[in-house]
């Protein structure tokens, strides 16, 4: 298989170029996003595939300064959360469909389980990524905020999400105030399996991570963290077992309260 080409950039169509040019943007200019541009992003978000055409997602649009300030601590006060002109929070949403069922003498208890939850998560994330591609095609920059699932209970409360609604993705958007280099990713070979999954031997791991591990970016991270390798930066600093388990409990408690774990 040909690996990591993107050599033929000039021959790519505009959509592929948009996707190829993606890079997370964490600093934005003061330029507001017009209602017309927002509208185009939301329409793109709502035009993806969706389970049985049920459209099991909702999008909460945050533009109000006071609301951004309220949400900021739950995003750990990251500047891209407070200084972005626009935040879109994508929620898995079975509430609207259940309310529809309630108005039509249909069973409202059919979708309180893990399977249905997955349908809604998938719908929400298709919408979120469509919104991202659309936004980037319109010259916006963006960054996903992992904090949305960490502090999911706080977002549920502040955004006033009812039962059967839970946020799964949060994206800050604005006009880029910087143009960072593309982050070094693993070669395509690392992610792609033909016909069946081929598990990774230590030799595979060494080969697949080699470019990343020897990059200048990694050298800087290791120096800052005074650790031997990138894996330890993740497990000892960025995402430790203790933190992950704390946040996992927040998430499962929220899933239970929002009615998605009736069978667990």
Beta strands 165-174 and 86-93 are antiparallel
Indicate whether 238 belongs to the interface with a second copy (CB under 8 A). yes
Indicate whether 33 belongs to the interface with a second copy (CB under 8 A). no
CA separation for the pair 237, 220 (Å, rounded): 15
Q: Which residue has the tokens 């505009």?
A: 14
Q: How far is the CB of 180 from a second copy (least distance, A)?
A: 12
Q: Would you give the DSSP letter of residue 183?
A: P
Q: Which stretch binds a second copy (CB under 8 A): 5-13, 26-34, 75-83, 172-180?
A: 5-13
Which two three-digit tokens encode residue 140?
């916006």
Q: Which stretch binds a second copy (CB under 8 A): 26-34, 72-80, 89-97, 172-180?
A: 89-97
69-88 residues in contact with a second copy (CB under 8 A) are none
Q: Is the dihedral of CA 81, 121, 126, 243 positive or negative?
A: positive
Q: How far is the CB of 232 from a second copy (least distance, A)?
A: 5
Indicate whether 52 belongs to the interface with a second copy (CB under 8 A). yes
Cβ atoms 87, 167 nearer than 8 A = no
Q: Is the dihedral of CA 59, 63, 66, 70 positive or negative?
A: positive
Q: How far is the CB of 177 from a second copy (least distance, A)?
A: 19
Q: How far is the CB of 95 from a second copy (least distance, A)?
A: 7
Site string for a second copy, 91-130 (x = CB under 8 A): x---xxx-xxx-xxxxx-xxx-xxxx-xx-xx--xxxxxx
CA separation for the pair 181, 23 (Å, rounded): 8
Show the CA angle centred on residue 170, arms to residues 169 and 176, nearest 5°: 135
Q: Which stretch binds a second copy (CB under 8 A): 26-34, 77-85, 172-180, 234-242?
A: 234-242
Q: Which residue has the tokens 């010259």?
A: 139
Q: How far is the CB of 252 from a second copy (least distance, A)?
A: 5
Q: Which helix (H) or strand (E) holds 62?
A: strand 57-62
Instruction: Tell which one of 31, 79, 180, 186 touches a second copy (CB under 8 A).
Output: 186
Instruction: Tell which one of 29, 192, 210, 224 touches a second copy (CB under 8 A).
Output: 192
């Amino acid at each position: 298989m040909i690996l990591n080409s993107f050599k033929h950039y000039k021959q790519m169509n505009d959509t592929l170029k948009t996707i190829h040019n993606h890079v997370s943007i964490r600093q934005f200019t003061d330029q507001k996003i017009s209602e017309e541009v927002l509208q185009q992003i939301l329409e793109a978000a709502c035009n993806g595939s969706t389970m049985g055409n049920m459209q099991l997602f909702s999008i909460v649009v945050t533009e109000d300064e006071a609301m951004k300030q309220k949400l900021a601590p739950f995003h750990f006060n990251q500047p891209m959360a407070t200084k972005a002109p626009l935040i879109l929070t994508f929620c898995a949403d079975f509430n609207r469909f259940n309310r529809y069922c309630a108005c039509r003498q249909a069973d409202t208890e059919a979708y309180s389980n893990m399977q249905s939850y997955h349908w809604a998560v998938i719908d929400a994330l298709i919408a979120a990524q469509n919104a991202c591609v659309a936004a980037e095609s319109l010259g916006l920059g963006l960054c996903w905020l992992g904090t949305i699932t960490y502090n999911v209970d706080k977002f549920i409360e502040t955004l006033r999400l009812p039962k059967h609604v839970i946020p799964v993705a949060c994206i800050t958007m604005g006009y880029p105030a910087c143009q960072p280099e593309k982050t070094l990713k693993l070669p395509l070979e690392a992610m792609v399996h033909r016909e069946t999954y081929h598990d990774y031997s230590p030799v595979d791991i060494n080969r697949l991570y080699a470019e990343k591990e020897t990059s200048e970016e990694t050298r800087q991270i290791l120096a800052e963290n005074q650790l031997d390798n990138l894996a330890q930066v993740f497990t000892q600093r960025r995402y430790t077992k203790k933190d992950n388990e704390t946040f996992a409990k927040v998430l499962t408690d929220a899933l239970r309260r929002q009615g998605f774990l009736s069978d667990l």
